[in-house]
Structure 1
Amino acid sequence: MTAADPTKPVAPKGARWWREIAWRHAVGIVMIVICVVPLLYVLSASLRPNGSLTGSTDLFTTIDFSNYTGLWGRGYGHWMVNSLVICTVTAVGTVLMGAAAAYAFSRFRFRGRRSTLTGLLLVQMFPQMLAVVAIFLLLISLKDVFPILGLNSTLGLICVYLGGALGVNTFLMYGFFNTVPKELDEAARIDGATHGQIFWTIIMPLVLPILVVVGLLSFISTYGEFIIAKTVLQSNDKFTLAVGLYQWASDERNAPWGLFAAGAVLAAIPVVVLFLILQKYIVSGLTAGSVKG
Structure 2
Amino acid sequence: MSKSFERYQKRKLISSYFSVVLSIALVLFLLGVLGLLVLNTKKMADHFKEQITVSVFLKDEAKQVEIDQLQKSLAMADYTKQAVFVSKEEAAEQHTEAIGENFIEFLGYNPLKNSIDVQLKADFVSPTQIEEIAETIQEKDYVEEVSYDKPLISLLNDNVKKISLWILVASGIFAFIAFLLINSSIRLSVYSKRFIIKTMQMVGATKRFIRRPFLWTNIKLGMLGALIAMIGLAVTIYYVNDFFPELTLLKDPTTLALLFAAIFVLGVLISFISTFLATQRFLNLRTDDLYY
**1 or 2, which has the higher strand percentage?**
2
Normalising by structure 1, we get a TM-score of 0.28
Q: Looking at CA atoms only, which structure, 1 or 2, has the larger radius of gyration?
A: 2
